[in-house]
Structure 1
Amino acid sequence: MLPLNIVVIGGGAAGFFGAIACAKANPHAQVTLFEASRQPLAKVLISGGGRCNVTHACFEPQRLIQNYPRGSRALLGAFTRFQAQDTVAWFSAHGVHLKTEADGRMFPITDNSETIVECLVKAAAKSGIELRIGTPVVAVKQLAQNQGFEIFGKSGATKQCDRLLLATGSNPVGYKIAREFGHHIEPPVPSLFTFNIPDAKLRSLAGISVDPVQLRLETGKPQLSQTGPLLITHWGMSGPAVLKLSAWGARFLHQNHYQAKLLVNWLPDLHQEQVRQKILAVKTQWSNKAIALHRGVDLPHRLWQYIVDRADITTEDRWAGLSNKKLNQLVQELTQGEYLINGKGVFKEEFVTCGGVNLKEVNFKTMESKLIPRLYFAGEILDIDGVTGGFNFQSAWTTSYLAGNAMGISS
C-alpha cells in the first residue's frame, strides 16, 4: 500500500499540533502543512503578552468544560481523551516544562512564547512534516468517489491528499472551504473584548482595580453574570470579569451593536442589607465628617468618591445630613450601579471569535466531518470558544490531537 498523504491547512497551534499527532500515529504517512503567511504560529507568539498561556490547571473534564460559552457539550467527551493534564505531559516530554500561576493559568517556565513556537517547529521537523510556509490555499476540491482531495493555491492545483485537516482559525478561507463542502457556518463574531463606557469621570480612574466585582448584563432574558477582578481603563472597563462576561454575552452584544446596560456590584461579598448597615454604622461614627472623605466600605478612595458623586452627594455633605433618599441612592450605586456599554475594545493583541463550523456536523471522537469522509476540523474554525485563561489553546490542542490521531490510522 502507498503511504497515506495527509494535508493540514493552517500553521497555527491546531495545525502544527494536529500534523505532529498524525505523523506520530503513522510514521509512514506523508504530512504536508500549508500556511498562508510567512510567519507560522504568529498567534502563539503574541499570546499571553508574549508568554503564551498554554493551558489552565483544570484537570477534570466536567469542570474544564464550564469555561466554554460555546462547545462545552461537544468537548466533554473530547476532554476525556485529551485534556489539560495531557497537554502538560506532552510539552514536558518535548522538553518544555510549564508552571502554574495563582489564577490557574499555565505558562512555560521561560515566560517566553518563543519556547512553545520552537518546540512545535522542532517537533514538526523531527516528524518529517513538510512545511509550505507563505503558501496560501485558495480552494479544495473533492476527488471522485471520495478518494481524497485536491489542493489549489493561487497558481492552480498544488497537491492531492487522502485526508485533509482544516485548522485555519478564523480565516475566511477555511469557512469558505467548509461551506463549499456543505457545512453550516455559525456567523463568526468577536469574543473576549473590553467594554467602552462613555463616562469621563469613570475613565479618569484608569488604573484602579477591584477584586471581586460582580457584573451583570441586562439581556431581557436570564441575566448573564460574572464575578472576578475588574480594571478601570481610559476607555471603560477591562479585567477578567469583563472578558469572561464578553465571551458569554458575545452574540447578544453583537446583535445589539455593543450597546447594553451593565449592572455593577462593587461589593459582591456583602448582601445589600449588609452594605446598608455598614453605611449606617459610618453615619453614626463619623456624623460630622465629610462623606466623600470617610468611607465605610473596602473600596479604593478615589473610586469611593466617584460612587458618592454618582449618588448625587457633594464633597461638602456630612454624614449627619445624609437623608434616607441619598442613603438608598448610595447603596444602589454600590450594589447595582448602572453603566452604559457603548462599543468594545480589543483585548491586547489577541483576537478570539465565537462562531464557525456547526458542531453537530463533526464527530468529536475523531474530529471528522459527518458530511464529507476524510475531512477533519480542529481549533478555532469550529464553533468553540473559551474564556480567557488558556482555555482556547486547550480546545485547539485537544481537537487537533484527536484529528491527527484519527487521520493517521491507515484503515
Structure 2
Amino acid sequence: MKKIIIIGGGAAGFFCAANLDENQYHITILEQNSDVLQKVKVSGGGRCNVTHACFDPRELVQFYPRGNKELLSVFTKFQPGDTMDWFERRNVPLKIEQDNRVFPESNSSQSIINAMTQEIQQKNIEVKTKCSVKEIEKLDAAYLIKTSLGDFIADIVIYTTGSSPKSLKIIENLGHKIIDLVPSLFTFNIKDDLLKDLAGTSFEMAETSIPQLKTEESGPLLITHWGLSGPAILKISAWEAISLAKMKYHFEIEVNFISKPIDEAEKMFMDFKQSNPKKTIGQSKIFDITNRFWQRILEVSKIDLNKQVAHLSGKEMQTVIENLCRKKMKVTGKSTFKDEFVTAGGIDLKEINFKTMTSKLLPQFYIAGEVLNIDAVTGGFNFQACWSEAWLIAQDLNLKRDKQMIN
C-alpha cells in the first residue's frame, strides 16, 4: 500500500485527507502545532466562515486578487455549493447570511472541525502533532521527510503547510520558485482627529479609494483603535497588497463615509435645512451615521453644535460634506489579524498543474492552500480555495489507484 504523507494539518490538509480513499493508501498527517485546524477554529470570530454563497465559478474567481485565472478550472469541479453539500451530508447544517457569507447554523467553528476530525478518525488516518518538518529529500521513487519526530518515507507528498517562510524555504530547496510574501487583508493605521475615541463606530456602506493607485472599493467600514477596518478596507488591502508593500504602508486614503455623491449629499442637506430650520445642527439626523460620528464631523468642521440649521453658511455646509464624502487621511502603517493572517506570495502558480494540483517539477507531489501564491478578499473565499484544491487532489489520487487496479 502506497504511503501518503500530508504536511500541514490545516483546512486544505484535513479536507484532502477526509476525501481520500483510506483503503487504497496509508495516510499520515504531520502538523507542527499542538492542535490541528487552528485557522478554522478562529475564523469568523470563532464561528468559521466556511465559504461564500457564490455558485458561478466565473463570478467566484473575481474575489481572488491572485490566482483568479488558475482557479476557474478548479471551481468548475468543486465550488461553494459542493462544500455546503459536503458538510450538510455530515450533519453540519449551514446558513447563508445577508452578506452571502456561509456559517454553520451552530455559530461554532467546532462543528466544522468535528465533521473533518470524525471523518479522519473513521478512516484511521494517523495524525502526528508537534511534528515539525525540517527538510524533504527526493529519493529515487519516494521522498524522505526529516522531522522533529524522526524520518518518514512517502511515496506521495501532499504539501499544505500554509505560507510560513520556513515551509516555503523547504519547497524552494526542492526547486520551486517562490514569489515574495507580503501581507494581504490588513487594517489601516490612521491617526486623525475625525477617528479619535470612536473605535467601534461602523458604517453600513462606505467608499474608500487610494488616489495614488487609482483604485477604489466599497463595503461596510469600521473605526478601530488604530484606524480603519471592515470589508471596504480589507478588500482594497488585498487587491493592492503588493503596491502597498512597495509604498511601505505610507499613503493617502480618501473615504466617503455615506457612500453618496457630493451633489446628492448637498441636496439632502438643503432639503433638511428647508424643512427643519430651527433645529440645532448637533441634534439633526440628516445622514445615516451615528450621533457621535455626526458630532465629531461638526467638531472637526469647526461648527458650533448648538447653531440652528437655518444659520449655517454655504461654506460651513460644504466643509461638512467634504469631511463626510471626501475625507482624506494619511495611512502610516498596517495591522494584521494575527490568527487569521493571510498573505500574498508563495509558490509560483506557473509551476502547478491546476487540473490535479500536482507540482510540474516534482513527481507525486501535490500542493494546496495558502502555500501557493493565491489569496482572496475576506468572506470565506480563502477557505473555499483550500476545499476545492484539496478535493481535486483526493479525486486525482483515488482515480489513479482505481485505474491501476483495473489495469
379, 400, 406: which one aligns with 2:390: 400
Q: CA distance change for structure 1 residues 50 and 299 in 2, over 3 Å: closer, same or farther?
A: closer
In structure 2, the residue corresponding to 1:343 is in which secondary structure?
strand
Q: Partners in 2 of 1:151 and 1:129 — Cα distance?
A: 18
116, 119, 124: which one aligns with 2:112: 116
Q: Percent identity?
A: 41
Q: CA deviation at 1:295?
A: 4.8
Q: Partners in 2 of 1:52 and 1:45 — Cα distance?
A: 7
Greater Cα offset, 339-348 or 119-128: 339-348
* Residue 188 of structure 1 pairs with residue 188 of structure 2: no
In structure 2, the residue matched to 1:82 is 78
In structure 2, the residue matched to 1:337 is 327
Q: CA distance change for structure 1 residues 196 and 398 in 2, over 3 Å: closer, same or farther?
A: same
Q: CA deviation at 1:358?
A: 1.1
In structure 2, the residue matched to 1:307 is 297
Q: Partners in 1 of 2:279 and 2:94 — Cα distance?
A: 53
Which residues of structure 1 form unaligned runs of 5+?
none
In structure 2, the residue matched to 1:4 is 2
In structure 1, the residue matched to 2:248 is 257
In structure 2, the residue corresponding to 1:373 is in which secondary structure?
coil
Q: Partners in 1 of 2:88 and 2:272 — Cα distance?
A: 55
Greater Cα offset, 194-203 or 372-381: 194-203
374, 377, 396: which one aligns with 1:387: 377
* Aligned 8 A contact 1:23 1:31 in 2: no
Q: How does 1:251-290 map to 2 (within 5 A)?
A: 251-268=242-259, 270-287=260-277, 289-290=279-280
210, 215, 233: which one aligns with 2:224: 233
CA RMSD, aligned part only?
Answer: 2.0
Which residues of structure 2 form unaligned runs of 5+?
none
Q: CA deviation at 1:151?
A: 0.9
Greater Cα offset, 317-326 or 86-95: 317-326
Q: Partners in 1 of 2:79 and 2:258 — Cα distance?
A: 35
TM-score by length of 2: 0.92
In structure 1, the residue matched to 2:364 is 374
Q: Partners in 1 of 2:101 and 2:124 — Cα distance?
A: 32
Q: Partners in 1 of 2:72 and 2:247 — Cα distance?
A: 31
Aligned residues: 401
TM-score by length of 1: 0.91
Q: Partners in 1 of 2:91 and 2:396 — Cα distance?
A: 25
In structure 1, the residue matched to 2:14 is 16
* Aligned 8 A contact 2:79 2:388 in 1: yes
Greater Cα offset, 390-399 or 98-107: 98-107
Deviations 1:207-234 (A, max 9, x none): 221111111123x3332x2211112222
In structure 1, the residue matched to 2:281 is 291
154, 177, 180: which one aligns with 2:148: 154
151, 175, 178: which one aligns with 2:171: 178
Q: CA deviation at 1:131?
A: 1.6
Q: Partners in 1 of 2:149 and 2:227 — Cα distance?
A: 47
In structure 2, the residue matched to 1:36 is 32
Deviations 1:306-336 (A, max 9, x none): 2223334343555445444333322222211
Deviations 1:166-186 (A, max 9, x none): 100122232112211221111
Greater Cα offset, 50-59 or 292-301: 292-301
Which amino acid in structure 1 is aligned with residue 182 of structure 2?
V
Q: Partners in 2 of 1:23 and 1:355 — Cα distance?
A: 32
Q: Partners in 1 of 2:99 and 2:88 — Cα distance?
A: 21
